[in-house]
Amino acid sequence: MLIDTQVTRKATNCIKWNVRHDLNDDELLPMWIADMDIATAPCIRLALEKALGEKVLGYFEASSAFFKAICDWEEKRHQVSLQAKQILLSPSVTTALSLAIRHLTKPMDKILVFSPFYPPYKTIIEANHRQLVDLPLVIKDGQYTIDFDQLAQFFSDSAMTAMIMCNPHNPGGRVWSADELLKVQQLAAKHHVLIFADEIHNDISYPDLPTSSMLNDQVDHVFQQQTLVFKSATKAFNLAGAKVSFIFVKNEHYREILQNAIEQEQSNEINTLGLVATRAAYEQGLPWLNAVTAYLEDNRDAALDYLGKYLPKIKPMKTESTYLLWLDFCSYHLTDRQLADGLTKKAHLFLNAGSDYGHASEGFMRLNFAVDRKVLSDALRRLSKFDQLYR
C-alpha cells in the first residue's frame, strides 16, 4: 500500500506519545500535537536511506535542485511564482517568524493575531518584547469569519506594524477564501502593516475546498510586497523532526534585512536530512499526499458523522484543511480544568486544551485525526464515555 497507518510510536521518545509517561497513564490515548501517526512517504524514506548510505553526515548545503523543487511545487500547486533568491531557509516556521518579528518590527510594536491562535505565536511575540493584539474571530454558520470593520480599526493604530495570518487557520481548520485574504491584504497595505502568512498547513487541501496562498500570482504586486509567506513540507509530509522551513520574500528590501540577520545569527545551516527529505517530498511525494489526504478526509467525515449522531453536545467545526478537529464542549458548562480532567483522567483521552489558544477558546479542545481508523474509533468511544459521565 502507498500509505501505512500501522505505526507504533509508544517507545520512540516522540512528544505525542511521551505524554503517557508524563501523566503516568498507560491507558491514555494521545490525539493532540500536530504530526501524523502515519508512516512518512516511502519515497522520502528511500531518499534518506540513500543519503545515509553515503556514510558521512558532514556539511551540506541546499542545492539548486532543492530550490527548484520548492519553486515547481509552489507554482503547480498554489500558483505562486518564485525565484530561488526569494526563498530563505530556517529550521522551523516558528524560528523564522521569530526572526522576522525581531528584524522587521521594533520593540513594543503591536502584532495582531486572530484568536483562537496557534500558542507559539504568543510566545515568540512576547519573548521578542512586542505586544500581542488578539482579535477574536466570529463564528457564523459553524465556521470562523473575520470582522473586517474591527480589523480596520485595529490596523489604524500606528503602533500596529505586523500581523500573523494563519492560512489555513489552526486550530479551526478554516480555509480562507481568496476574497477574504485579499481584503486582509488591502487593509494591511492601506495601514502599512506587514503580513506574516503562516501557510504551513496549506498543502493539506481537501477536494471540495482548495487552499489559496497570499502570494498567489493573481495577487496585486503591491500586496505581494507587504506579504511574507512562512512554509514547510513538515505538516503535509509528516516531517516535523526534519527541521527545514522557508520564507518566501518578494520584497527585496525585507529580503536583504532577513538575509543579513540570518548571516548574523548563523541560522542558515539547515539539517542535512531535512533538505534531502523536503526535496524528495516535493519531487516525488504527490501520489502519497493525495492518498493520505483522501484517508484524512474519510477520517474527518467519520468523526463528524459520529459526533452528529451520538454526541450532539460536542459541537465540531467542519475542518476545511489540516487534520485537526476543533471541538466545542461549552454546552457541558465545565471549567477548563474540569474539562481537561474529565477527558484525561476519566476518558483517558489527551487533546490540546483550547485555553492555550487564547481567551476566545475556553471550553474548546483540538483533536488530531491523522491516525489509523481504528484509533480514531477508539478516541470517539472515549468521547462517548466522557459524555455519559458529564451530560
CATH code, domain carrying 366: 3.90.1150.10
Q: Are residues 28 and 68 in the same domain?
A: no
Residue 50 covered by a domain:
yes
Residue 1 covered by a domain:
no
Residue 339 covered by a domain:
yes
The pTM of this model reads 0.96
pLDDT at 2: 87
pLDDT at 12: 82
Q: Are residues 31 and 151 in the same domain?
A: no
Q: Are residues 277 and 291 in the same domain?
A: no
Burial (CB < 10 A; 0-12, 13-18, 19+), residue 114, is buried
Q: Find the CATH number of the domain harbouring 212.
A: 3.40.640.10
Q: Is the link from the previous residue into 120 a cis peptide, with omega within 30 of 0?
A: no
Q: Are residues 73 and 156 in the same domain?
A: yes
Q: Are residues 265 and 344 in the same domain?
A: no
pLDDT at 149: 98
What is the span of the domain harbouring residue 187? 46-284
Q: Are residues 238 and 96 in the same domain?
A: yes
CA–CA dist 248, 182 (Å, integer): 18
Q: Are residues 56 and 189 in the same domain?
A: yes
> Domain end: 242, 266, 284, which one?
284
- Check if the beta carbon of residue 145 is closer than 8 Å to that of residue 166: no
Q: Are residues 201 and 90 in the same domain?
A: yes
Q: Are residues 51 and 34 in the same domain?
A: no
pLDDT tens-place values along the chain, 391 residues long: 689 999 988 878 899 999 999 999 999 999 999 999 999 999 999 999 999 999 998 888 899 999 999 999 999 999 999 999 999 999 999 999 999 999 999 999 999 999 999 999 999 999 999 999 999 999 999 999 999 999 999 999 999 999 999 999 999 999 999 999 999 999 999 999 999 999 999 999 898 889 999 999 999 999 999 999 999 999 999 999 999 999 999 999 999 999 999 999 888 888 999 999 999 999 999 999 999 999 999 999 999 999 999 999 999 999 999 999 999 999 999 999 999 999 999 999 999 999 999 988 999 999 999 999 999 999 999 999 999 999 8
Total tally of structural domains belonging to the chain: 2
- Check if the beta carbon of residue 197 is closer than 8 Å to that of residue 228: yes
pLDDT at 120: 98
Residue 5 covered by a domain:
no
Q: Are residues 29 and 98 in the same domain?
A: no
Residue 165 covered by a domain:
yes
Q: How many CB atoms lie within 10 A of CB 14?
A: 16
What sign has the CA pseudo-torsion 16, 18, 24, 25? positive
Q: Are residues 161 and 304 in the same domain?
A: no
Q: Are residues 140 and 247 in the same domain?
A: yes
- Check if the beta carbon of residue 109 is closer than 8 Å to that of residue 162: yes
pLDDT at 142: 93
What sign has the CA pseudo-torsion 328, 334, 335, 336? negative
